[in-house]
Amino acid sequence: MTLLLDDAAVQSTFDWKLAITALREAYAAADDEARFPTRIIARGGGNWVRTLSGVSGDSGLMGTKVIAGAMGPRQFSYLISLFDQSSAELVALLDGNSITGYRTAATSALAAAALAVPGSLDVCVIGSGFEAKKHVRALAAVRDLKSVRVHSPRAESRARFAGELGDLGTVIVPAESPQAAIAGASLVICAARSYDETPILLGEWLEPGMTVVSIGSTVREQREVDAEVIRRADVVVADVVEEVLHDTGDLIAAREAGIDISDRITSLAGLVGGIVPGRTGDRQIVLYKSVGSAVQDLAVAAMCARRARESGLGIELPIRIQPVHK
């Protein structure tokens, strides 16, 4: 029977190390671009529905994630469906809200572990919300964090961020400006796109050797880093290269400014698979740019569904969605 997992069940079954392992294995098995096609976005009346789909390369599960956005109240719903590849049976339906944050952060951690300079990391986080906190926890699962400096506009948000991550045992310092947070950092996490889409990270603030993770510009209308960040990056790693290049506001703005990174951009799959080297020098500035991919959603959702069934969590759908023989 189909398993239903609400957000509480997803959170109960999630594990950072298992998620990062699942992602590493999923990228290694993503041997055909047709398995994870370009996302589709339907727009109308200011609202939108985004669909990501994929067929995992390990013959396990296939499925979709659907995100619906109502822009008037700025509300969003996330639904993930998982199907068995051998039978087309609907295995699970999951609330995808937390999974979206988990998979984004876990994938960033996978990339950062490979791209950041060796040794303990001094981390700068721009943003103090859901994604920002998830990124710090994911990073702590793969690298030693010497310190974390956080900036967001409100002092109370910065203090809450530090308090909620106090269990990590890492020094967390609220910073009153993004420049103060970034100075001396080895890894910069951008997780706070501005409401007016003004870039929150400027390239002039970057120092040699920094690794930047940018997750907040995933469609044409959104901005997170300025064109100078793109210009200064010696290496750009993207989870979905074509979408990052042509469908994100940051890269569109960089192209309009005359910046061509076609000879500097490579895929996360190539990095994880050892096909491309990523960072080749300690003084290089490296940018990981993410738009999200079904390979990430399905890997993490499948891990949560498996653990939920093993633990007796979730509820079974009272009806069966019957596969039809044709």
Mind listing the domains of the chain with CATH numbers? 3-99+294-316 (3.30.1780.10), 101-289 (3.40.50.720)
Segment 4-33 shows an average pLDDT of 92
Stated pTM of the model: 0.92
Describe the strand order of the beta sheet including 61-70 as a list of residue ranges: 40-44, 47-55, 61-70, 75-84, 90-95, 3-5, 315-316
pLDDT at 156: 96
pLDDT in tens, 305-325: 999 999 999 999 999 999 999
pLDDT at 306: 96
Residue 300's alpha-carbon distances to 15, 59, 120, 250, 274, in angstroms, are 9, 16, 27, 27, 22
Q: Residue 191: count other Cβ atoms within 10 Å of its Cβ.
A: 28
- Checking if the pLDDT of 31 tops 90, the result is no
DSSP-derived letter for residue 233 is -
